[in-house]
Chain A
Amino acid sequence: MFEMIGGWLQRPNYIAFVLLFLWGIYIMVTRYNLVKKLIGMYLMQTSVIFFLVTTSAKRGATVPILLSTTEIIQPEAYANPLPHVLTLTAIVVGVATLGVSLALADAIYKKYGSLDEEEILKRLE
């Protein structure tokens, strides 16, 4: 048991990821304000990005770029670049989603004069 908790404590990043992810879901589920829901959604997306970056983190590592043709390739000295690239794409996807969602929220506000979900559902009937 203690070993397990000790193991967890050595990986604070993953704990932070789990907390952020669950926090995002919690906000999405419990808040009635549409914009707050979006904040929760964005927090959740960002936590996944954070997880991807964390998997490639390495102490004292450098970028995988060869400065000269004679430089010896040392794979263990480099941080894995792929998760960073995935992260870039995922950020773009997240921003696009946020854009569409804010546009929808804006249209809802103009139509129903409220961002409160309960209020909107009342007006739908």
Chain B
Amino acid sequence: MTRHLPAILFLLPLGLAICLPLIGIKHREWCRPLSIGVLAAMVPVSFANLVGVLQNGTIHYDFGGWAAPVGIEWVADGLASVMTVALSLVGLVCITFLSSVLFPYLGSRIVPFYTLVLLLIASLTGMVFAGDLFNLFVFLEVSALCAYALVGLAGGKALVAGFRYLILGTFGASLYLLGVGYLYAETGTLNMADLAQRVPSLVASKAFAVGVLFMFIGLGIKMALVPLHGWLPDAYTYAPDRVSPMLASLVTKVALYGWIRIMFWVLGAQAVVYQIRLLVLVGILGALAALVGAFLALSQVEIKRMFAYGGLSHIGLILVGISLGNQTGFVGGVFYLLNDAVMQAGLFFWAGAIIHLYGVRTIEDLGRLQGGAGWMSVALVVIALSMIGIPPTGGFFGKWYIILGAVEAQNYLAIVAVLIATLLTLAYFVKLFERVFRDRSTQPPPLIREIPLAVKIGLGATSVAVIVLGLMSDHIVSFLLKNAVPPGL
């Protein structure tokens, strides 16, 4: 039974996504509870899968009974199982939030809306488990298609942002597919484990090097690595407030996970492209992304856009962590990735809630909160502390392990980049706090409306989660060190 858990985990949201349009014909009001129920069911299944993997070792799930190099396989190892636990937990909180009564009523669009959200979750699960380069491409595209449609759902400016996202995303996907084609032409295999065995003999091959670079650029667009991030700020700013948390916390992170999987499990930590170590390249780009993202965030006036740029900087920090080439840095990066999924969700919950509760979109208007509104202020402070990296929150320990890894690797440039990014993050949150707690100039009394339960759950769960991640960081990191470190690192 445990063998089938990865497939069950995928089939739960997919099955409902397929049934929902039929159920929705008669019972539109069932969409919401059914979707939340399925995500809630994914949580114990993902935990069971994690326990099963820890007890019995990595699960290789062959589809259609064809064994690995010939057939398509899914690999549920330590890292993938941890990722799915995070995915289902964050997904559950996000779907609870987006069902809130706070947002405008969707009417008949509620059915396709939940179908898209469930398909997105299913395809992200597929990406995490994929053990085959082409399979990864398919899930990458399914998740991207759902994301384009969800962004465009808001209408108006979101349509244009969604269109740009689609053009760039498809360009990225085509580059990735081209890279896969190069690797296939060179090796004759698409299976990651099989390919990994053939990589050492390909050091001199130009087709291999070009293919790897195409794949990296393709996934770089999908994860919004800084010079390739053009689509992200607009898409996340104009996306419907109810879906931006889910997009920001899951979509780019899972694309980043896909690259981690390829870089360490296929190419190996020592991979060299045109005499440059791939890890060094990734590290430099990551440091650049961390600085540029945080710097751009500092100069934004729109709150959602500021958080979107903050997310870009964190993608960079995660890449810096994993590129250090030692176990501490890798685990720090992965731990930071988990934290970032939670923090991004929390920040966009907050941004979405204040838009609908107080009508605040820009930093100038933040004075309307008048420092009151307990839930909003406390959640903002807790998540911001984690974003900046102040103990005892998860963000601090993530950065701490990344810096430890950098010291171990004697990569002082990485330390400088992490510290400057931290200072810039501090700067833009101080700018935010200044308005929230000190600004008394805006006189009109805030439109106090009861904070809906779903918003409280969203903000509460993410705030508690960053603190729990911080307090448990010791256990989580040693657990990751034991179970989720790639071979040969």
Chain A residues proximal to chain B, CB less than 8 Å:
21, 25, 28, 34, 37, 41, 44-45, 48, 51-52, 55, 82-83, 86, 89-90, 93, 96-97, 100-101, 103-105, 107-108, 111, 120-121, 124
Contacts and interface: CB of A to CB of B under 8 A. Distances in A.
Interface in B168-187: 170-171, 173-174, 177-178, 181, 184-185
A37 B174 contact: no
Interface stretch (B11-19, B154-162, B381-389): B154-162
A59 to B, nearest CB: 17
A96 to B, nearest CB: 6
B166 interface: yes
A45 B170 contact: yes
B167 A107 contact: no
Contacts, number: 77
Contacts of A44: 171, 174
Contacts of A82: 184, 190
Interface of B: 134, 137-138, 141, 145, 148-149, 152, 155-157, 159-160, 162-163, 166-167, 170-171, 173-174, 177-178, 181, 184-185, 190
Chain A interface, DSSP helix/strand/loop, else mixed = helix
Contact of A97 (B141, B160, B181): B141
A48 to B, nearest CB: 5
B167 A28 contact: yes
Contacts of B141: 93, 96-97
22 contacts: A28-B171, A37-B167, A41-B167, A41-B170, A44-B174, A45-B174, A48-B174, A52-B184, A55-B181, A86-B134, A90-B137, A93-B141, A96-B145, A97-B145, A97-B166, A100-B148, A100-B149, A103-B149, A104-B148, A108-B159, A121-B160, A124-B157
B167 A83 contact: no
A86 B141 CA distance: 14
Given A97-B145, A107-B155, 13 more contacts: A34-B163, A41-B167, A44-B174, A48-B177, A86-B134, A90-B137, A90-B177, A100-B149, A101-B170, A103-B152, A104-B159, A104-B166, A124-B160
A100 B159 CA distance: 11
